[in-house]
Chains A and B, each alone.
Chain A
Amino acid sequence: MALKSAIRNLRNNPHLLFVRLPNLLSFLCIVVGVVWLLLLPLNEYSRNTYISENALLPGQVHAYFTGSEQNIFRGYKRELEGLLNEGQERGGQKDEAEVTAAVSDKVLSILQAAGLKVATQKYEYTSAGITHQGENAYAIIHAPRGDATEAIVLVAAWKTADDELNLNGVTLALTLARYFKRWSLWSKDIIFLITPDSKSGTQAWIDAYHDMHPASVQPLPLKSGALQGALVIEYPFEHRFKSLHIVYDGVNGQLPNLDLFNTAVAIAGGQMGIGANLQEMWTHDDSYEHRLQTMFRGMTKQGLGYATGAHSSFMPYHIDAITLQPKGEGWEDEMALGRTIESLCRSLNNLLEHLHQSFFFYLLMQSQRFVSIGTYLPSAMLIAGNFTIMAIALWMRTGYYPETKPKTETKKPSDEKAKSNAVAERKLALPLSLVVGLHLLGLAPLWIFNNIFHQYFKTTTYIFMIVDITLPLLLSSLLSTPLALKSPIIPQQYHLIKSFSLLLLGLSLSTLATLNFSLSFMIGLLCAPLTFISRIQGSAPFRCITSALGLVVLNLLSPPTVLVGVCWYAGVDVETVLTQAAY
């Protein structure tokens, strides 16, 4: 009965129904959304990881990559090292191309001597005025008895994602190529890809593999079948390592199948006794704080959606890929990494179908703990929902609840009480065109930032900041000046503008939440104040102060400010960030 009387109360009190209640509901949505996210690391809401695809059988095979293979590893390494040093002695820069060619030839000759089919691919990309060019070398082990329908890729880039020389990684790939060639159990082709860098090289190769490459990238002369998985090897230092850091974030927040990650963790931890880390959490004591921190780091990377390593390029083509990075000072050597990769390849080789059993949408909070989309999605959905609630409330308000307080610009209808049940006519032209126009205007920065040279990024950012601050002021003054428009704008139209904007925001965010949860969540939180701004009433000084304060808050949360702020906080140059983004 309490509910009924509450509904009756609401019906009798339109101000409560149309103004106070939506505010309350929206606020509640945001609070619940945030709290929901904070609850996720608890044991009750997260789950232990498990291998879903039974065919993987991680760690069920003995890895034989030891013994005299290490001598060969050292031999290959000294050979490549000799070529690299030779280049440095002769004076660095000028001979760089020559050294690269010599090293590339050596890599190819080693792979060819091991009995693999080799090929090269030249590529050239231009982004933000910087030209990325190089030559990929790759080799294929044909699966004995196989028919080139499926393949696994092993990638070793000369430069890691952090721009370090990956000599050990490349050497390990070469040694593994020679070692794998002897096995007859491969059911899939194994492709060894040696790229000059971690981004453009793999991107060029994978694009060309699917024939989606631009004209500046050469097509691949040698191909295999459908790619089932990719592993990236990084080992950019000389000392022994302690644990394996598994990087799994793809571009635009795409993630590899959780089974691949789990297999890597199971093999590293269970079979080889090497600890596995993720999201740069070197000491993880499985406490709430650490889980939350891991999750937030994962969400940040997912939300920003940039390439975190050579594996990221594979994700858009629905190829599951991870990077293995040895980290720390310990007693594991390159052979241990080699055995891990051997065991991983054996697991992938067992696959009968493309990885599909496990989750593609998940948040990891420890190497063996995750939450799946069903558990975390309500959080972002609630935040997106708050905009929709407000938008609907505003729409209703414009129709059923005309402003009771007299405004200077509007003529208050005298028989308001009588009309309260009828639907008021909505003036849609101006709000609609304004909202659509402003959203289309957003294409301008997108185009500009994707096409200008990197030197001008900083200037452009500041220009856009100024535009961002001044444009709303200009627009609002234009709208409130009776001279600019034929008929003066009425509050209903203000509400409609807000309603449409919020509706669009809510709609996009809830759609985005299913694809890239983190991005949707972050945008949702940053935009949350938009729900609660409204025309401020009261005395003139109070109005001035509050609106000025509101303006400052809104400007602080505007995209360029956030960009500059985060860059300043993280100590990165704006230019670098934007160059990355434009890539």
Chain B
Amino acid sequence: MTVLSILSLPFVALLLSLWNSPVIASDYHENLLLQPLPQSSLLASFNFRSNTSQQSFDQQHFRYLPRALGQILQHAHTKELHLRFTTGRWDAESWGPRPWNGSKEGGTGVELWAWIDAPGDDEAFAKWITLTQSLSGLFCASLNFVDSTRTTRPVVSFEPTGDHSVADELHLLHGTLPGEVVCTENLTPFLKLLPCKGKAGISTLFDGHKLFDAAWQSMSVDIQPVCSPEGECVVQIEQTVDMVLDIDRSKRPRSNPIPRPVPNDQLVCDTSKPYHADDTCYPLEKMNDKAWSLTEIFGRSLTGVCPLADSDGSSEQSVCLRVPHERGVFISEAAEEFKKEDGFTRCFKLAPSTSFDLSIPQQPVNTEVPLDEPVLHAERTIVGHGQERGGMRIIFGNPSNTSAIDFIYFESLPWFLRPYIHTLRATITESNGLPREIPASDIIKETYYRPAIDRERGTQLELALSVPAASTVTLTYDFEKAILRYTEYPPDANRGFNVAPAVIRILDTAHNAPVYIRSTSLLLQLPTPDFSMPYNVIILTSTVIALAFGTVFNILVRRVVSLTEAEALGAQSLKGKLLGKLVALRDRFRGKDTKVE
């Protein structure tokens, strides 16, 4: 069998290449965008995109689309898949709007949503479980814990991005694991899905140490069918990795990663201060942009070009950098630089099989790359204290002075957090800074609410909201914390329970694609027993039963009579007499005296 299959391989390959030639859609692109951000951070945004024709996908002929993933999709009848691994938080205040408008990132931990083709809800859920179990194995993530309590079916928060045929009965299922720690074991399978597998091209920069040292990082896998107007369909897989690296931290050598205090002579001090002396230093924070190079930041250099990538036009320039054009940038000799018209972007064409490095010297900053203002600020916190009940507070700030903003707010809450929707209140703070309570219906256009069922499903709440210009809206509601069963607590119960981040989808006509924002995840403290308690209870009850039961039983069963009464009793019958004798004998034997005066 093995020999046969090996022998048949060249033939199959030949056949496949013949098959392949008429299909034009099979292609692969990869791109890296580097953008320095304020506060000495650097956004590195990797994008890998490949297409496979629907026909070859259906025939299980996989070239760029990884077979492992393709077969899972086919098995689970999944038409469109979105998988996100995220850690950290995006600091919108200093870093501006999110990369890809937030559409390629998830909430903290793992987030997965998919459109599944199934005749009914139950079948869809069964397929969904198949999908999560398989993905869990593929990505080394605890996705198998996405059970019915963590699965929701959002109504308006997500829309399919691919082009689906009308015949499909699509069901959207969405699951999150907010407590999942994303680490190298998720990166390795992620890299294996790439055609060049981290051996050539921009994916050679992935180093687990640097990637997971980032202040924020997000990995995503999106698979969707894309159809051209002519009706030719391809299955597109897009993998992205976005990370914000701290330049100072990344530049520290791995041999000496500890940020020890710098030697006295390397301190940058404000010498204009009158008290400035050898031992007194008012630190001067650097106003210049930091110098950095690819090798310093990523710990390795970029080797070659992925030979599978298309070598036509723009996709050839696989590394782009967004700094003002007047800034000097040094690149390796073999590479070519192309400056774009917008004045900030320049892209580099890399030479195959040579390593590429890029370095920016320290320069005074004259112009900066403009960062757009985020369209919406959102913050969600748990308020109140105590083990019994609490409150949720969500703040939406609209920075725009002119236009109101419409968006959809979606949150899925675990079943042990029981919200009281009737307590939903809205407070608006307009430009005068005075908070004013308004009826919630004034800003909530629509509500989709599916209450929780204990141990079966969580709460699903979707609100279509509108926040007026230059104002801040605060939504609050109260909730009650359920008491779990003894066995339902996780091993680290006292840490609290993670509540999945809320997803905000902004319906903005200015952007073609929707803008997504996710809040931070929350930690919910539930009433938690001291787990040594059950053992104490067992020990105590055993002792009490052993001591008390014996005594009480003794008192209940023993008959205390006076000597005369005993005699009278005993005299009644022969049996009694005998018994009395026996008892007397036994008592004497034991040296007991039951006589009562």
Where the two chains meet, the residues of A that have a C-beta atom closer than 8 Å to any C-beta of B are 1, 4, 64-72, 74-76, 78-79, 82, 113-115, 117, 142, 144-150, 178-179, 182-184, 210-212, 223, 225-226, 316-318, 352-354, 356
Contact = CB atoms under 8 A, between A and B. Distances in A.
B259 A72 contact: no
A317 B385 contact: yes
Nearest to B259: A182
A226 B248 CA distance: 29
Given A78-B280, A210-B385, A146 B93 contact: no
Contacts of B220: none
A149 B521 CA distance: 7
B168 interface: no
Nearest to B387: A318
Given A150-B523, A223-B379, A210 B267 contact: no
A507 B521 CA distance: 44
Given A150-B523, A211-B393, A75 B494 contact: no
A398 B582 CA distance: 47
B393 A68 contact: no
A139 to B, nearest CB: 13
B267 A68 contact: yes
Contacts of A69: 261
A212 B248 CA distance: 40
Main secondary structure of the interface of B (DSSP, over half): loop
Which 5 pairs between the two chains have the least Cβ-Cβ distance? A211-B383, A75-B282, A353-B494, A182-B259, A71-B281
A184 B251 CA distance: 13
B534 interface: no
Interface in B283-303: 283, 285
B495 interface: yes
Contact of B88 (A71, A146, A150, A183): A146
B34 to A, nearest CB: 19
Contact of A145 (B87, B381, B493): B87
A352 B273 contact: no
B435 to A, nearest CB: 8
Contacts of A72: 267, 281-283
B522 interface: yes
Contacts of A146: 88-89
Given A145-B88, A353-B495, A78 B273 contact: yes
Contacts of B217: 145
B214 interface: yes
A466 B419 CA distance: 53
A211 B384 contact: yes
A149 B495 CA distance: 10
A76 B547 CA distance: 68
Q: How large is the interface on B (under 10, 10 to 19, 20 to 34, 35 or more residues)?
A: 35 or more
A180 to B, nearest CB: 10
Contacts of A76: 282
25 contacts: A64-B259, A66-B261, A71-B269, A71-B279, A74-B281, A75-B270, A75-B276, A75-B280, A78-B275, A79-B273, A79-B282, A113-B283, A114-B285, A144-B246, A144-B249, A145-B87, A147-B108, A147-B521, A149-B498, A149-B522, A183-B259, A184-B246, A211-B383, A212-B383, A212-B385
Contacts of B381: 223
Interface in B525-556: 525, 528, 530
B422 to A, nearest CB: 19
B261 A147 contact: no
Given A78-B273, A210-B385, A68 B262 contact: yes
A193 B201 CA distance: 47
Contact of B391 (A65, A149, A179, A211): A211
B492 interface: yes
B91 A78 contact: no
Given A75-B273, A144-B214, A353-B492, 4 more contacts: A144-B215, A182-B249, A353-B495, A356-B530
A76 B215 CA distance: 28
Contact of B248 (A75, A149, A182): A182
B536 to A, nearest CB: 11
Contacts of A67: 260-264
Contacts of B262: 67-68
B261 A184 contact: no
Contacts of B249: 144, 182, 184
Contacts of A75: 269-270, 273, 275-276, 280-283
B147 interface: no
